Amino acid sequence: MAVSELIARLRVRLDPFELNTDITLPAKGVSVIFGPSGSGKTTLLRAIAGLQPCDGEIWFNGNYWQGNGRHRKTAERPLSYVFQEASLFPHMTVAENLDFAERYTLRPGNASKRDDLIELFDIADLMSRRPDRLSGGERQRAAIARALLRQPDILLMDEPLASLDDARKHEILPYLERLKNEFELPIIYVTHSAYEAARLGDYIVALDKGTVVSQGELYDVISDPKFPGDISREAGTVVTGIVDSVDAQWHLAQIRTGSSALITVPANNLNPGDAVRLWIRASDISLSHEPLKENSISNSLPCQIEDIRHDPNPALMIVKLRAEKIELITRITRQSASHLGLEPQMHIYAHIKTAALI
Ligand SMILES: Nc1ncnc2c1ncn2[C@@H]1O[C@H](COP(=O)(O)OP(=O)(O)OP(=O)(O)O)[C@@H](O)[C@H]1O
């Protein structure tokens, strides 16, 4: 039976730089390769893609891409690659770029999801334009749709937001999240941004100076002091929900999630019944033994503590909570953890200070 994983035991020598990895990534969800500039992230991604010569072995779902006497060329690996700068063909319109990808699909005879992708990435109005008449964010959305039309078994993305300003980054992140949730396609995502790693990553590999210094599920690495950068500061949870009601007087919407307690957020243009996604930062949740009563929008969720860990910052603790069907992570001071006498399995209230709509 094919094993659902990507194994990369490899070495790249780019004198004086050397990359050595022995990693096993789950072939599902988003695996993030994280690390500072020059740590070897792009080199690793390129080696996995067959774009960078390397020693060692790479296998995907039980098939050798390299090793055991085999070396599959990039075109023979069932992958698509999204570069930092959107790499659409400049002389073709968006529609022609998509046509091209469909012609060279890895699964001839398998209906492409062209219409779904055009809708997912919201590019219907861009189809007749050439890349030089698109914004950076539009170009990248079209480039990702094109990469997916190849119908790969895995998508490799090298800092796809790096060339965009902050506003454009925040515009594209929700598309990446929808891609992650709506397509059962494993993604390897290179970034130096702890925020992107925390928001998109299911499994994280941290590189430093060409070596893997930490790897694991997001919740495991955020408490790892070896992890470069302050990823726990960026940790949080994405929660999905439906707008239950809108308070027109105060411009607030109440969101029904997997917890029986509603979460209140600024209403923006929401209407009852709308599906929404919330990003709740670990540092925006506080805990207490009683629900907050001072007003009706306190966002107090009854929870049970699943796990408690030390944060790399010695003043802080990380607490994993379950509020019925939703899971939350909070980051609180050691002092308040001690005052509250927190212990696994304890029932507690989580107070969400802010939940951002994403
Ligand atoms: N073709 C090359 N020849 C020699 N050295 C190279 C080559 N390509 C990359 N390097 C070096 O390898 C190291 C790792 O580069 P790489 O691009 O993989 O890092 P990165 O983590 O992706 O960085 P960034 O976040 O800045 O893109 C760097 O020191 C870089 O200078």
Q: What is the pLDDT of residues 347-357, one digit of tens each?
A: 999 998 877 77
Confidence of residue 258 (pLDDT cuts 50, 70, 90): confident
Q: May I ask the CATH class of domain 237-357?
A: mainly beta
Distance between CA atoms of residues 186 and 27, nearest Å: 5
Tell whether the model's pLDDT for residue 52 goes beyond 90. Answer: yes
In a mutational test of the pocket of ligand 1, which residue from 10, 11, 17, 196 has the highest number of ligand atoms less than 8 Å from its CB?
A: 17
Which range is least confidently modeled, 9-13, 283-287, 345-349? Answer: 283-287
Short-list 29, 23, 21, 26, CA closest to 3: 26
Tell whether the model's pLDDT for residue 340 goes beyond 90. Answer: yes
DSSP state of 313: S
Phi-psi map region of 102: left, alpha, beta (phi>0 left; psi -120 to 50 alpha): alpha
Would the CB of 180 count as within 6 Å of ligand 1?
no
Q: Degrees (nearest 5) of the Cα angle 2, 157, 64? A: 30
Which range is least confidently modeled, 151-155, 185-189, 299-303? Answer: 299-303
Within 13 Å and on the Cβ side, how many CA atoms surround 17? 16
- The whole-number average pLDDT for the span 64-88 is 90
Give percent of the chain with pLDDT exceeding 70.
97
Confidence of residue 1 (pLDDT cuts 50, 70, 90): very low
Name the CATH topology of 5-236.
Rossmann fold (3.40.50)
pLDDT for the residue numbered 216 = 92
- The whole-number average pLDDT for the span 252-273 is 87
The answer, yes or no, to whether the previous bond of 53 is cis (omega within 30 of 0) is no
Residues 6+ apart with CB under 8 A from 103: none
Would the CB of 66 count as within 6 Å of ligand 1?
no
> What is the residue-averaged pLDDT of the chain?
89
Distance between CA atoms of residues 112 and 116, nearest Å: 9
Phi-psi map region of 346: left, alpha, beta (phi>0 left; psi -120 to 50 alpha): beta
Distance between CA atoms of residues 41 and 47, nearest Å: 10
Distance between CA atoms of residues 100 and 205, nearest Å: 33
Which range is least confidently modeled, 224-233, 318-327, 330-339? Answer: 224-233
Distance between CA atoms of residues 204 and 184, nearest Å: 18
Cα 203 to middle of ligand 1, angstroms:
23
Tell whether the model's pLDDT for residue 193 goes beyond 80. Answer: yes
Interface confidence (ipTM) of the complex: 0.94
Cα 189 to middle of ligand 1, angstroms:
16
Cα→Cα distances 298→46, 265, 266, 269, 312, Å: 48, 11, 13, 21, 29
Q: What is the pLDDT of residues 117-128, one digit of tens each?
A: 999 899 999 999
Tell whether the model's pLDDT for residue 358 goes beyond 90. Answer: no
In a mutational test of the pocket of ligand 1, which residue from 34, 42, 156, 192 has the highest number of ligand atoms less than 8 Å from its CB?
A: 42
Q: What is the pLDDT of residues 210-243, one digit of tens each?
A: 999 999 988 888 878 788 777 778 888 888 889 9
Cα→Cα distances 131→27, 97, 222, 305, Å: 32, 10, 38, 50
Q: What is the pLDDT of residues 155-183, one digit of tens each?
A: 999 999 988 888 888 888 888 888 888 88
Confidence of residue 47 (pLDDT cuts 50, 70, 90): very high
pLDDT for the residue numbered 3 = 67
pLDDT for the residue numbered 355 = 79
Q: What are the sequence ranges of the domains in the chain?
A: 5-236, 237-357
